[in-house]
Structure 1
Amino acid sequence: MATQSHSASQAKRSAAKNAASETPRTKVLAGEALLRDMAKHRKQVSATKESARQFLIDLGVLTKSGERRTLIRD
């Protein structure tokens, strides 16, 4: 197996670092902060019939036409 040159490995690390910096970070919550965040999300999702329907479509429980999906097959 051939070894990479110094500049090739440096370029690879630089590309990985740039890709990581472009990725949005996810905030990790615990305890009361997590419960508050979950309550806030629940209120946003259930605020209107349309937002609740869109949440279920994004989740994969409903089709775009509003029909219930069969998630478990016999």
Structure 2
Amino acid sequence: MSNQLILSIPAPILTYDEYAKLQGQKVKDVVNAVANGRLPVYTPPCGPHENPARVKKYINMVALYAEAAKAANLEFGLGS
């Protein structure tokens, strides 16, 4: 018999504002965490005439949960 931990991710990606509110942080602290590589980011594909640096970025919650599971020595899989 195997034990399972079932997690519910509120959304696969969150804006910096949404993530800050969820964590009780200031947006500037989230921006700093992203800049320092402490939070995974999802950048949507941009068109050929868009500047990639100006495309809105999001906190990648799926990657964050996967990192947390790995740090806790848990196997992370996506349900079907």
TM-score when normalising by structure 1: 0.24
**Which structure features the higher share of helix residues?**
1
TM-score (norm 2): 0.23
1 or 2 for the larger relative contact order (CA 8 Å, sep ≥6)?
2
More strand by share: 2
Larger-Rg structure: 1
